[in-house]
Structure 1
Amino acid sequence: MATALHAPPVVAIVGRPNVGKSTLFNRLVGKRLALVDDTPGVTRDRREGDAKLGDLTFTLVDTAGLEDADASSLEGRMRAQTERAIDEADVCLFIIDARAGITPTDAEFANLMRRHGDKTVLVANKVEGRKGMDGLYETYELGLGEPVAISAEHGEGMADLFQALDEHFTRLAEDAASAPQAAPVLAEPEWDADDEDAPDIIEAAPRTHPLQVAIVGRPNAGKSTLVNRLLGDDRLLTGPEAGITRDTISVDWVFQDRPFKLFDTAGMRRKAKVQEKLEKLSVADALHAIQFAECVVILMDAEHPFEKQDLQIADLVAREGRALVFGLNKWDVVKNKGSFLKECEEELARLLPQVRGAPLVPLSGLTGKGTEALMQAVLKMDDVWNRRISTAALNRWLTAALQQHPPPAVAGRRLKLRYMTQAKARPPTFAVFCSRPDALPGSYTRYLVNGLRDTFDLPGVPLRVLMRKGSNPYEAKAKKRKIN
């Protein structure tokens, strides 16, 4: 049994297109993270996931299919990404399609893998059936040792794959030097929002997990270029072609001593234009990233900002309740920057009142200008998104708001708003207890939302005000304090 490693080993899955790399990736990570289709060349970027096989845990990397192509072409850039994954991996699973037998492309890339023979495991996939077993014996010609026969689709041969990985992990564990353990981050105690001594605005405790930021937008807005610039590394595949990114790729990063997990997503076009199955899968993957992000950066082309699709994406993010930051990319090609930025800010306030105050940051992913300001805006929005307001402060504000603009009378009866409390953060959600919640018009709810946003400095995040019918549960506590 392998000795435990201080950091999970990295295992890269490589091979020519359409041999089942992504199918094996999904099986080992236990989720359908990578897009899978019969079309060759679905995977383009390196995609990482936490994998488990038996009692082995490791970081698994799905790669683009190895193809012999010009270095400047899209296929050539994909191959460069795969070769880099091979260099950085601790173990490489070289996948062969046993039913197809050894192709000239397999033989060519076997020469590449022999240079990494000490960390290469030859895997013959699709061995189910007689044809697969016939192709299995051909793999010995590659000179990479005994193949591991599996069927990634049906889960066959996983015990043999476990044995092969276990041998490599044991060697890695024996060679690895013990690394010092980082001191745990201790969270500061949080105030109880109902405590009378609590400050009006209760800041969130320091986070102990990475801040998850999804970067979304229309195709060719420069999302992958921006992520590469933030990382200071050509981690993601980029180029002049629109729609290069298909999978949602997550990468870990540290900014100002704070851990981040950045999600680069596929470009999202209008629904009517999305016809192909692969694009539908890519868009679904991007929508999934929005649902699980904490902050979403909507990256727009500064030459064509606030198109209908940008607004639809922003509305979706607001409905999902995520913190929101707008990035105006390709700012280096804009003329009359000052007046144009003012126009864009006015457009943002007019077109998206539900996220009034969301930051709009001009930047250039190509040159790096404005990227630090973008991340500062992300940190600020995360603080607002996690903010809590004490119950005492909310009810003082509610009393003043009711005096300034009382709720209307419906059917000759005045509506009574009794008290208010914050139900939760992420996003800030408030419960207002009143006499007839169904009768309160939406315009009055918007009045409360705008007042909360202005009074307690809550720009750019969706605010939710829920009307509830009921008595004041704090009334008994107040009476008890008076008795005592």
Structure 2
Amino acid sequence: MSFKVAIIGRPNVGKSTLFNRLAGRKLALVDDTPGVTRDRRSHAAKLYDLHFEVIDTAGFEDAAPSTLQGRMRAQTEIAIQEADLIFFMVDAKAGLLPDDTTFAGIVRKSGKPVVLIANKAEARGAQGGMLEAWELGLGEPVPFSAEHGVGLPDLRDAVVEALGADRVFGEEDEDDGEIAASDVLIGEDIADPDAEEVPAYDENKPMRIAVVGRPNAGKSTMINALIGEERLLTGPEAGITRDSISVDWQWRGRPMKLFDTAGMRRKSRVQEKLERMSVQDGLHAVRFAEIVIIVLDATIPFEKQDLQIADLIIREGRAPVIAFNKWDLIDHPQAVLAELREKTERLLPQVRGIQAVPVSAETGRGLDKLMEAVVRTHRVWNSRVSTGKLNRWLETILAHHPPPAVAGRRLKIKYLTQAKTRPPGFVVSCSRPDAVPQSYVRYLTNSLREAFDMPGVPIRMALRTSDNPFAGRAKKRT
């Protein structure tokens, strides 16, 4: 991107609505409640012929540094330092408030070019508020409506005037890779299932990782520890994270995109609309991730909600990895780890062999081992077995443990092939798919997992019958 723009203003002036409009997608949560946005979020943006990076920030509030509002303000100040241009947004409908004047002074001191945006200019009585905005000393306010997209041409001209044509129309990166990367299908088709040549695993391919768990399990703290900076807002309060925030990062030279998500409570406890929106945003991040790190509080692991989150991830076909966080609070680590691993195998049999790593986001202990487990799981999730190997294995299985007879008729399994990867998906050609007991399907799945070393990822098994070429033909009279 040629330049960065940070959207600054007090709470509930429409910053996230403008961010979504410039990004061209509904990425940030928007609600009438003040203070919805807490973390800063960046994304590629387009304003007619201008291509840049836009940063959404929390509403500026005058509060002590130790409070949640104070920590949110610190994140916003970091965004001001990173930006090349500042969109200072005021609410023309409400008029100028004392906080607007205070924060305008902070923006002036930064020395960065500023575009003053008078949002909600379409409202009745907004003209007076727009005229008041002149008092801030930040130049002529641009009348705007983030909700309806009114005033975009004026905003574009103001950006060019503030930064200069040379800077604005310099080298542009129009690569929409971030958008394209999100269109990952659940289960990718294999072009030629009968091919014996299996493509090698790409060690340098970018990876998308979502971090999920119950509130206050330490998800944001763990991401901050991984990337080595205070990128995400953290604290002792439960439920700080609301939006799913993506962070670009490299681990041992490999590009990663980490997604921090809101804590997921039991559905019956989620009453507020805003929390429902946060959870939906988190579920969206899970669906488009490749690996999902399930963060469990090691002091109170495997509550019912933890298992429901894990089950959702497995049903979505994502590759799960468990992180037992807060390991620094455990008194007898060896005994507790053995107990937790036994529980993991017992409670999550559908992903037998799942990688489970004890970590401490507070001290950074175990994070390298966690990432090694993530890469191992990603390799298995992408694994492919040739049809020849599968059917040689199937012959052995059928000789050792043939399918049972149902209603006095023996079931015939003819053929096995892998049709999909990410996660591995197999098609079994058999005589009567509806009659095959689920217990025998589980036996095939577990035996295949063990024979071809596919631990810890969901494996899908589809039963189909081969087409009968004589079906539907009338019997000829002799």
The alignment's TM-score, normalised by the length of structure 1, stands at: 0.90
Distance 1:169 1:392, change over 3 A: farther
Residue 126 of structure 1 is aligned with which of 111, 116, 120? 120
In structure 2, list runs of 5 or more residues that go unmatched: 174-189, 470-478
Q: CA deviation at 1:116?
A: 3.4
In structure 2, the partner of 1:297 is 293
In structure 1, list runs of 5 or more residues that go unmatched: 1-6, 179-189, 474-484
In structure 2, the partner of 1:92 is 86
Cα contact 1:358–1:460 (8 A) shared by 2: yes
CA distance in 2, matches of 1:203, 1:286: 32
Question: Residue 125 of structure 2: SS of its match in structure 1?
Answer: helix
Matched, 1:161 2:158: no
Distance 1:261 1:73, change over 3 A: same
Distance 1:390 1:43, change over 3 A: same
Q: Which moved more, 1:81-90 or 1:407-416?
A: 407-416
Cα contact 2:2–2:171 (8 A) shared by 1: no
CA distance in 2, matches of 1:203, 1:436: 36
Residue 347 of structure 1 is aligned with which of 333, 343, 346? 343
Q: Which moved more, 1:66-75 or 1:22-31?
A: 22-31
In structure 2, the partner of 1:144 is 138
Distance 1:56 1:451, change over 3 A: same
Give the paired residue count.
Answer: 452
Question: Residue 68 of structure 1: SS of its match in structure 2?
Answer: coil
What code does the residue aligned with 2:144 have? I
Distance 1:145 1:20, change over 3 A: same
Matched, 1:22 2:19: no
Q: Which moved more, 1:157-166 or 1:347-356?
A: 157-166
Q: CA deviation at 1:397?
A: 0.7
Cα contact 1:117–1:144 (8 A) shared by 2: no
Matches within 5 A, 1:346-425: 346-425=342-421
Q: CA deviation at 1:147?
A: 1.2
Residue 217 of structure 2 is aligned with which of 218, 221, 227? 221
Distance 1:374 1:169, change over 3 A: farther
Identical counterparts, % of pairs: 60
**RMSD (Å), alpha carbons:** 2.0
Residue 39 of structure 1 is aligned with which of 26, 33, 38? 33
Matches within 5 A, 1:177-326: 193-196=193-196, 198=197, 202-206=199-203, 208=205, 210-326=206-322
What code does the residue aligned with 1:302 have? A
In structure 2, the partner of 1:480 is none
Cα contact 1:46–1:82 (8 A) shared by 2: yes
Question: Residue 414 of structure 2: SS of its match in structure 1?
Answer: strand
Q: CA deviation at 1:148?
A: 1.1
CA distance in 2, matches of 1:222, 1:59: 29
In structure 2, the partner of 1:4 is none
Distance 1:8 1:387, change over 3 A: farther
What code does the residue aligned with 1:224 have? S
CA distance in 2, matches of 1:308, 1:165: 51
Cα shift readout 1:38-68 (whole Å, capped 9, x = no counterpart):
1111110001222211122222111000011
Q: CA deviation at 1:166?
A: 3.2
Question: Residue 417 of structure 2: SS of its match in structure 1?
Answer: strand
In structure 2, the partner of 1:62 is 56
Cα shift readout 1:269-298 (whole Å, capped 9, x = no counterpart):
001111011111111111111111000000
Cα contact 1:419–1:472 (8 A) shared by 2: no
Distance 1:459 1:145, change over 3 A: same
Cα contact 1:358–1:461 (8 A) shared by 2: yes
Cα shift readout 1:335-380 (whole Å, capped 9, x = no counterpart):
1111110100000100110011111100000100000111111111
In structure 2, the partner of 1:71 is 65
CA distance in 2, matches of 1:318, 1:454: 18
Cα contact 2:3–2:168 (8 A) shared by 1: no
Q: CA deviation at 1:194?
A: 2.2
CA distance in 1, matches of 2:150, 2:319: 44
Q: Which moved more, 1:42-51 or 1:164-173?
A: 164-173
